[in-house]
Amino acid sequence: MDYSFFINKTSSILLDNGFYEGPAHNNVFWYIKIMPPVLYAVNITDSKNHLEKNTYISYLNELYKNLKNCRCSNLVCINVLFSNKFTAENENKYFSNYFSNYISNGFSENFKSSDSYGYSEEFSKLDINNNIHNVFWVFNANEERLLFPKGQPTKLNGIELYFNWKKYEKSGTNSIKIYNNKPYITYAIIVINVLVWAYINLKGGDSTVYNFGTSRKGLLSGQFYRLITAVFMHQEISHLFFNCFSLYIFGRETERILSRVNFIVIYLLTGFLASLFSALIGGELSIGASGAIFGVIGALAAVSRMKAYKAQLMDYFTLVLYIAVSILTGFSNQQIDNTAHIAGALSGFIIQYFYFKFKYADGNKVQK
């Protein structure tokens, strides 16, 4: 049986969900995803091919050496065999030989029946230390579903869903693509914020804040540029630090999963709207990137809500809780522009949510 269709479809799903393409060897494919503190490595192959034990362990060692660079402490290797020989009725019957054959000869359909359900001694050697964990699943090509040999986890941070095509397509999120961008825009915005802060404190002074900060009086005078310029302005070093630190945490993750154009539009548009509502409701002079940053967090929450995506281990509930706690804390400090925070978070969530709803609606799916 030719399994290329099944492997290609699964590969496409993995890539669209934030996995990087790793090395390929004899129709054995690796896909990598960094989700601190765990680095996930998915190894997929069919029963006509195999990966040599030494090659397998060598690549695991290579990944393990890079854990610190990936800000991870654990490596989880998910090995998936595409086969039509395993069924729900016989998967445990061949459990022991299944592992033994993979380790010594690679995956093979020439299994011998066994009543032993234990791990083989050689299999245990693959767990090089307590930081590396191996998982073995089987994809039944006839039934188009995953089978889980005895002792193997049936759920693993949602990765199992990518092999359950019916559930994945039914979820309505199968077209939402994760871009895996390098966060260059985020870093550029941080640099701009620092440079503007330096200019204000070294040369421009209060006059720059008065001339370019957001205020109701300025808008009534037709100075609408203030709605954008204020987003890049900070005067106090503590204000600059906390905003840049928040942007570093949330901006990098949001830029990584969205297209760069999407990220820039969200940042500028939510910053614009946050400044607008701040001027209309608060009226006082206001500067700072926090409205746009809350917009970014709101957009990230929308992605987490629609795609069940965990951003740096922060799911939808955690992101919403962070926004709520930050806003409630803001009411205790009169110097915090809570109007901008609320407007930014709400606009970021709403804009991103409905943008995805339109972009990935039936009949409007992006062609990959």
Is residue 285 pLDDT above 60, yes or no?
yes
pLDDT at 89: 53
CATH class as words, domain 184-359: mainly alpha
DSSP-assigned letter for residue 336:
S
Confidence of residue 173 (pLDDT cuts 50, 70, 90): low
User: Percent of the chain having pLDDT more than 90?
Assistant: 36
Lowest-confidence segment of 200-209, 292-301, 322-331 by average pLDDT: 322-331
Number of Cβ within 10 Å of residue 130's Cβ equals 7
Is residue 91 pLDDT above 60, yes or no?
no
pLDDT at 238: 93
Domains of the chain, by residue range, sit at: 4-170, 184-359
DSSP-assigned letter for residue 286:
B
Between vectors from CA 185 to CA 321 and to CA 198, what angle results, nearest 5°? 90
User: Percent of the chain having pLDDT more than 70?
Assistant: 76
The more confidently predicted of residues 133 and 293 is: 293
- Over residues 294-301, the mean pLDDT reads 94
pLDDT at 88: 55
| 213, 337 Cβ separation under 8 angstroms | no
From residue 42, give the alpha-carbon distance in Å to each of 2, 10, 74, 171, 214.
Answer: 20, 11, 14, 22, 49
From residue 270, give the alpha-carbon distance in Å to each of 44, 278, 298.
Answer: 41, 12, 10
pLDDT at 365: 42
Could you report the per-residue pLDDT of 19-62, keeping only the tens digit for each?
Answer: 888 887 766 789 998 887 889 999 888 766 666 667 777 788 88
Instruction: Name the strand (E) or helix (H) holding 273.
Output: helix 260-277
